[in-house]
Amino acid sequence: MREAIVLVGGEGTRLRPLTLTTPKPLLPVAGVPLLAHQFARLRDAGIERVVLATSYRADLFDRDFAAGFQGMNIVCATEPSPMGTGGAIAHAGVMLSSAADDPVIVLNGDVLSGHDVRAQLRRHTDADADVTLHLVQVSDPRRFGCVPTNAQGRVTDFLEKMDNPVTDQINAGCYVLRRSVIDDIPTDRPVSVERETFPGLLRSGALVEGYLESAYWLDLGTPAAYLQGSHDLVTGVLHSSALTGPIGESLLLSDAAIDPTAVIADGSVIGQRSSVAATAWVHDSVVMDSVVIGEGTHIQRSLIGAGCFIGANCVLRDVVLGDATTLAAGAHFESQRIWRDDDTGDLVVEAL
C-alpha cells in the first residue's frame, strides 16, 4: 500500500491571528481546507493511506479528517510536544505499514504544488535512492532550504535558510523517503529534518536525489502568499481536484448573500452564509464563513476570519482580521493584523 506522511504540527505564527483558532493547513483556500488540496494531489498520485503528523490543535484535524478523504484512509499521529519536522516524521513513521525499502512520501502541510508526484516517485525508484527531494527555483531562496545538485541531479548539500544562498534551487517540501531512513530518525527528542537528518545523510554518503520541476509552487506561510494561492485556485491558474465550485473571477460559497450593487472581484472568495451589503467591494481577498460586510465598505488584499462583523463605510487594505472580530462603521486599517483579545475583550492591532 502506498503511504504518505503530512506534517501539520506547526503553529503558523506568520498567519496570526487566523491561526490562533485554526491551524494553517485547515484554513480555507478556495472553499476547502488547504490540506484537502494536498490530499487530492496525493490521491491522484495513487496514495491510499496518510499519517497526519499533528501537534498544534491536533483535535481539529481528527474532527475534520478522521473519516478519511475521498476513499483515502487518514490516521493522526499526535506528538505529546512538538518534535520538529524530523521528529514528527519519525513519530508518525511508527504508524506506517510500508516495508523497509518501500518509498514513503512526506509533505509539508502548507504548500500548494502542481508538480508530478508520480514522476518524483519514479525518479526515486529508478535511481534506487534513499531520499528524493522535490526542488524548485525561486527568486529569493533565503527563506527556504537551499539545495545544490551536481550535473547528474544528485544532491550535494542541504543548507536551511541561509543569508547568502549558493543556488536558487530550494527544497519544495515534498520528499520521497525510503521507509528505513524514517526508522533511523530518533523519536526521543526534537529533530529538524532540514538541519539534522538531510545534512547527516549526505555526510554518510546516502543517495539523495533532486527532482527539479518548475510547475506551480507556493508555500502559503505568509498572508500575501495565502492570498496568492487562493486567488490562483479561484481563477484557474492552478488546478486542484479538491475544488467544489467552478473557476472564475470570484468564488461565492453556498448561502453567500451579495447585494446586486456590491462588487466581488480579483479572485476573491466569499464564505458560506456571509453577506456583502450595497455598494461594498471586495478585491483580491478571502472572506471566511458567516461574515457580515456593511454598506459601502471597501476590502482589498485582506484575509477576513470567520464570524467577523464589519460595519458600513470601512476601508481595509492588506489586513488580517482574526475570527469573530467586530469593526465599527467607518474604521480604516492598512497593513495591520487585528483581533479581539479573549481575556480583556479589547481590540489588538499590530503592524503586519
Considering CB distances under 5 to 8 angstroms, the limit depending on partner class, which of ligand GDD, Mg ion, none binds residue 289?
A: none
Which are the contacts of 331, defined by CB distance < 8 A and separation ≥ 6?
310, 311, 314, 315, 316
Considering CB distances under 5 to 8 angstroms, the limit depending on partner class, which of ligand GDD, Mg ion, none binds residue 274?
A: none
> Using CB under 5 A as the criterion, which residues of the chain lie in contact with Mg ion when the complex forms?
110, 219, 221
End-to-end distance of the chain based on CA atoms, in angstroms?
A: 45
Q: Residue 283: exposed, middle, or buried by beta-carbon count in 10 A (0-12, 13-18, 19+)?
A: middle
CB of 93 to ligand GDD, least distance (A): 12
Cell 530518533 sits on residue: 186
- The angle, 0 to 180 degrees and rounded to 10, between the axes of the packed helices 34-44 and 117-127 is 50
Considering CB distances under 5 to 8 angstroms, the limit depending on partner class, which of ligand GDD, Mg ion, none binds residue 113?
A: none
CB of 175 to Mg ion, least distance (A): 14
Show the binding pattern over residues 160-199: x = contacts ligand GDD (CB under 6 A), - = does not: x---------xx-x--------------------x-----
The yes or no reply on residue 55 touching ligand GDD (CB under 6 A) is yes
Q: Return the DSSP state at 2.
A: -
Element (H, E) at 258: strand 257-258
CB of 265 to Mg ion, least distance (A): 29
Which of 57, 90, 103, 110 is the binder for ligand GDD (CB under 6 A)?
Answer: 110
| Number of chain residues interacting with ligand GDD (CB under 6 A) | 26
Structural contact between residues 78 and 3, judged by C-beta atoms closer than 8 angstroms:
no
CB of 144 to Mg ion, least distance (A): 9
Phi first, then psi, for residue 74 (nearest 5°) are -130, 125
Which of 19, 21, 22, 108 is the binder for ligand GDD (CB under 6 A)?
Answer: 108
Residue 241, CB-side half-sphere exposure with 13 Å CA sphere:
10
Q: Report the distance separating Cα 288 and Cα 323, nearest Å.
A: 9
The yes or no reply on residue 10 touching ligand GDD (CB under 6 A) is yes
Which of 61, 65, 69, 144 is the binder for ligand GDD (CB under 6 A)?
Answer: 144
Considering CB distances under 5 to 8 angstroms, the limit depending on partner class, which of ligand GDD, Mg ion, none binds residue 276?
A: none
CB of 86 to ligand GDD, least distance (A): 9
> How would DSSP label each residue in 154-184?
BB---EES-SS-S-SEEEEEEEEEEHHHHHT
Considering CB distances under 5 to 8 angstroms, the limit depending on partner class, which of ligand GDD, Mg ion, none binds residue 93?
A: none
3-state class percentages of the chain: helix first, strand second, coil last, to nearest 5: 25, 30, 45
Where are the alpha helices (H) located in the chain, listed in sequence order? 18-21, 34-44, 58-65, 84-93, 117-127, 179-183, 198-203, 223-235
The yes or no reply on residue 88 touching ligand GDD (CB under 6 A) is yes
The yes or no reply on residue 109 touching ligand GDD (CB under 6 A) is yes
CB of 23 to Mg ion, least distance (A): 12
CB of 68 to ligand GDD, least distance (A): 20
The yes or no reply on residue 219 touching ligand GDD (CB under 6 A) is yes
Nearer to Mg ion by C-beta: 113 or 325? Answer: 113
Indicate the residue whose CB is closest to ligand GDD. Answer: 9
> How would DSSP label each residue in 78-147?
E-SS--HHHHHHHHHHTT----TTSEEEEEETTEEE---HHHHHHHHHHHT-SEEEEEEE-S-GGGSEE-
Residue numbers at the binding site for ligand GDD (CB under 6 A)? 7-10, 53-55, 79, 82-85, 88, 108-111, 144-145, 160, 170-171, 173, 194, 219, 221
